[in-house]
């Protein structure tokens, strides 16, 4: 997007302008919504109320992009628009359709001002005419779309191939429930650093600062914020908690770490599971790898804030080539593999449009390569905990099954309510964990545990 110097000056207090700049980075420069928004909030020239509206508009537009485009189509079809003008129209239509509190004249006036300053008078007139016509005209009826896939795709604003993909595996009703739940606002959840404080102590400390929290339904160390972003709390600053999705908190405990093991976290950044594993260690040691140097830096920052660095070695390294120091094998290996991230579509809605089925196939190859290699680094009797934050079968059950088919020295170690204290509705018939986003309003997640037979048979 071409941003003019005068726009920066004249529109510095215009929240629609800031929404437009952020959306342009996400939609046209492929940046992640959460990263772009965090950066904006650290240097914002706006007050608290306007910041909240910027975040709502940015997420709302991405969340509802296909629905908005469907409504806008009759007004812009056949017209050649610059990307930023399309985005400006989208964010205006989002406010007109989805937000009741904002008067339509305010939406139009602000959009026209942005169009004039960053474009010219002609662009302002064009935006004015389209939006006024949009307000006067009845909206298209989405429920009248005949094709079922297309109807769901427009209604829940998600790529048609994803709708079709889930329809192949689930009933119409299950798919609608899933898609509907992805449109809801995600919760902020956090994991208590139990090496410093109990969950009760952390919740009391938060309460004393005005944060209401509730216990997680699925993790004994998780809490959910009811009314605010916990990163501003004393508990966060003191390292008593870390922001993490509740389903992701299920991974580390599945290794039943007793405190003195040698552990590998093969793909560790940004460190949600690595910090959790480190809290469970006493004399043991964690080697945490990631391909990306900047991401390993973030893992290090988290470890330091939480006071866990002494138990951990962090390496920028390709896990598919990793060899342990002195050839010493690991007791437990966590492979939280790179994946298509379909389980994160509520939190990072751009995933709904950016991923393709080919991505799933490519990632499945990488996952296979990673699990094949790390399996050679495990002691007999040791365990691999394989996990992803995606919902595709090719990256989950099929990876595990194909691995077991060609590695007869490994067997599945089924996850159970009794042994693992995991809710029964999260455990599949094969003994894997599958968390669907609509079940507990968390990210979608998959976890499987495999054990390497020892010399006397299965552990
Ligand atoms: C799903 S994320 C891991 C999330 C992390 N375990 C957590 O809990 O915060 C996958 C990570 O794998 C890393 N990655 C991808 N390919 C890798 C490889 N060959 N070796 C090591 N890390 C890799 C990516 O950089 C990314 O940070």
Per-residue pLDDT of 205-240, as tens digits, reads 999 999 999 999 999 999 999 988 898 899 999 999
If you measure from the C-alpha of residue 270 to the centroid of ligand 1, how many angstroms do you get, rounded to a whole number?
Answer: 8
Q: Is the CB of 318 under 6 A from ligand 1?
A: yes
User: 318 near 248, Cβ under 8 Å?
Assistant: no
- The atom of ligand 1 lying closest to the CA of 265 is 6
- pLDDT at 128 exceeding the cut of 60: yes
Residue nearest to ligand 1 atom 12, measured at CA: 267
To the question of whether residue 92 is assigned a binding role by annotation, the answer is: no
**What is the pairing mode between strands 262-265 and 410-412?**
unpaired
Give the span between the Cα atoms of 331 and 257, in whole angstroms. 9
If you measure from the C-alpha of residue 403 to the centroid of ligand 1, how many angstroms do you get, rounded to a whole number?
Answer: 20
Q: Is the CB of 421 under 6 A from ligand 1?
A: no
Architecture field, domain 5-136: Orthogonal Bundle (1.10)
If one residue of 299, 338, 386 were mutated to test the ligand 1 pocket, choosing by the most ligand atoms within 8 A of its CB, it would be 338
Q: Is the CB of 247 under 6 A from ligand 1?
A: no
- Give the model confidence (pLDDT) of 148-198 as tens digits: 999 999 999 999 999 999 999 999 999 999 999 999 989 999 999 999 999
- pLDDT at 263 exceeding the cut of 80: yes
What own/partner pairs with CB < 8 Å and gap ≥ 24 does 289-295 have? 289/264, 289/265, 289/314, 289/315, 289/316, 289/317, 289/318, 289/319, 289/322, 290/316, 290/317, 291/267, 291/316, 291/317, 291/318, 291/319, 292/316, 295/269, 295/270
If you measure from the C-alpha of residue 337 to the centroid of ligand 1, how many angstroms do you get, rounded to a whole number?
Answer: 6
Q: Is the CB of 209 under 6 A from ligand 1?
A: no
Where do we find the tokens 């305010």?
106
Helix/strand/coil for 454? strand
Helix/strand/coil for 380? strand
User: 313 near 285, Cβ under 8 Å?
Assistant: yes
Two tokens at 69?
Answer: 């485009």
- pLDDT at 10 exceeding the cut of 90: no
Cβ-count burial 177-208 (b if 16+ within 10 Å, e if not): bbbebbbeebbbbbbbbebbbebeebbebbee
Confidence of residue 330 (pLDDT cuts 50, 70, 90): very high
Where do we find the tokens 């893992």?
299
If you measure from the C-alpha of residue 325 to the centroid of ligand 1, how many angstroms do you get, rounded to a whole number?
Answer: 20
The distance from CA 209 to its chain's CA centroid, rounded to whole angstroms, is 27
Confidence of residue 71 (pLDDT cuts 50, 70, 90): very high
To the question of whether residue 271 is assigned a binding role by annotation, the answer is: yes
Give the span between the Cα atoms of 166 and 153, in whole angstroms. 12
Domain boundaries, the chain: 5-136, 144-182, 188-243, 247-452
Q: Is the CB of 289 under 6 A from ligand 1?
A: yes
To the question of whether residue 339 is assigned a binding role by annotation, the answer is: no
- The atom of ligand 1 lying closest to the CA of 289 is 21
If one residue of 219, 268, 302 were mutated to test the ligand 1 pocket, choosing by the most ligand atoms within 8 A of its CB, it would be 268
ipTM tops 0.95: yes
Report the predicted TM-score, pTM, of the whole model to 2 decimal places. Answer: 0.94
Q: Residues 389, 391, 399, 450: which is the catalytic one?
A: 389
Query: CATH assignment of 247-452, given 3.30.470.20, 3.40.50.2300, 3.40.50.150, 3.40.50.10070?
Result: 3.40.50.150
Helices (H), 376-432: 397-406, 417-420
Backbone angles phi, psi at 186, to 5 degrees: -70, 150
How long, in residues, is the chain? 459
User: 416 near 427, Cβ under 8 Å?
Assistant: yes
**Topology adopted by domain 188-243:** Alpha-Beta Plaits (3.30.70)
Give the span between the Cα atoms of 432 and 180, in whole angstroms. 25
Q: Is the CB of 295 under 6 A from ligand 1?
A: yes
What is the reported pLDDT for 9? 79
CA gyration radius for the chain? 24
- pLDDT at 459 exceeding the cut of 50: no
What is the DSSP annotation of 58-110?
A: HHHHHHTHHHHHHHHHHHHTT----HHHHHHHHHHHHHHHH-SSS-HHHHHHH
Active site residue 339: no
User: 446 near 432, Cβ under 8 Å?
Assistant: yes
- The atom of ligand 1 lying closest to the CA of 338 is 10
Which run of H or E residues covers position 435? strand 433-435
Residue nearest to ligand 1 atom 1, measured at CA: 338
Say if residue 270 is preceded by a cis peptide, omega within 30 of 0. Answer: yes
- Give the model confidence (pLDDT) of 384-421 as tens digits: 999 999 999 999 999 999 999 999 999 999 999 999 99
Residues above pLDDT 70, as percent of the chain: 98
- pLDDT at 140 exceeding the cut of 80: yes
Task: Give the dihedral sign, CA 382/388/393/395.
Answer: negative
Two tokens at 383?
Answer: 């365990």
Confidence of residue 457 (pLDDT cuts 50, 70, 90): very low
If you measure from the C-alpha of residue 291 to the centroid of ligand 1, how many angstroms do you get, rounded to a whole number?
Answer: 7
Backbone angles phi, psi at 336, to 5 degrees: -95, 85
Q: How many CB atoms lie within 10 A of CB 371?
A: 25
Confidence of residue 265 (pLDDT cuts 50, 70, 90): very high
Two tokens at 195?
Answer: 């090496």
Q: Tell me which DSSP letter residue 230 carries.
A: G
To the question of whether residue 267 is assigned a binding role by annotation, the answer is: yes
Give the span between the Cα atoms of 451 and 410, in whole angstroms. 6
If you measure from the C-alpha of residue 331 to the centroid of ligand 1, how many angstroms do you get, rounded to a whole number?
Answer: 20
Cβ-count burial 78-88 (b if 16+ within 10 Å, e if not): eeeeeebbbbb
Q: Is the CB of 267 under 6 A from ligand 1?
A: yes
């Amino acid at each position: 997007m071409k941003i003019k110097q005068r726009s920066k000056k004249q529109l510095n207090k215009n929240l629609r302008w800031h929404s437009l700049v952020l959306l342009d980075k996400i939609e046209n420069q492929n940046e992640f919504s959460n990263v772009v928004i965090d950066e904006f909030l650290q240097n914002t020239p706006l007050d608290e109320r306007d910041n909240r509206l910027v975040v709502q508009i940015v997420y709302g537009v991405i969340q509802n992009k296909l629905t908005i485009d469907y409504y806008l189509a009759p007004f812009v079809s056949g017209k050649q628009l610059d990307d930023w003008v399309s985005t400006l129209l989208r964010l205006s239509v989002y406010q007109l359709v989805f937000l009741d509190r904002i008067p339509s004249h305010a939406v139009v006036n602000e959009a026209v001002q942005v169009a004039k300053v960053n474009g010219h008078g002609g662009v302002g007139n064009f935006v004015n005419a389209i939006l006024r016509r949009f307000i006067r005209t009845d909206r298209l009826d989405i429920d009248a779309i005949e094709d079922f896939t297309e109807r769901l795709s427009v209604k829940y604003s998600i790529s048609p191939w994803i709708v079709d993909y889930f329809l192949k595996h689930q009933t119409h009703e299950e798919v609608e429930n899933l898609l509907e739940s992805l449109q809801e606002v995600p919760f902020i959840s956090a994991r208590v650093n139990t090496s410093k404080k109990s969950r009760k102590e952390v919740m009391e400390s938060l309460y004393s600062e005005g944060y209401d929290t509730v216990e997680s339904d699925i993790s004994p160390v998780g809490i959910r914020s009811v009314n605010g972003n916990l990163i501003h709390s004393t508990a966060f600053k003191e390292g008593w908690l870390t922001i993490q999705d509740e389903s992701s908190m299920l991974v580390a405990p599945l290794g039943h770490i007793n405190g003195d093991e040698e552990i590998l976290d093969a793909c560790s950044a940004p460190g949600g599971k690595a910090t959790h594993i480190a809290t469970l260690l006493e004399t043991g040691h964690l080697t945490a790898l990631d391909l990306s140097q900047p991401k390993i830096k973030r893992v290090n920052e988290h470890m330091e804030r939480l006071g866990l660095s002494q138990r951990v070695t962090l390496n920028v390294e390709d896990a598919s080539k990793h060899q342990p120091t002195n050839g010493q094998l690991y007791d437990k290996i966590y492979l939280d593999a790179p994946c298509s991230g379909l389980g994160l579509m509520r939190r990072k809605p751009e995933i709904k449009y950016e991923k393709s089925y080919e991505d799933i196939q490519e990632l499945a190859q990488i996952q296979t390569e990673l699990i094949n290699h790390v399996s050679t680094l495990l002691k007999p009797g040791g365990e691999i905990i394989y996990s992803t934050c995606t919902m595709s079968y090719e990256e989950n059950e099929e990876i595990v099954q194909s691995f077991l088919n060609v590695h007869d020295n490994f067997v599945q170690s089924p996850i159970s309510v009794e042994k693992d204290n995991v809710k029964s509705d999260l455990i599949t018939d094969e003994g894997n964990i599958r968390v669907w986003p609509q079940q507990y309003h968390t990210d979608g997640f998959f976890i499987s545990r495999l054990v390497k037979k020892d010399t006397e048979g299965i552990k």
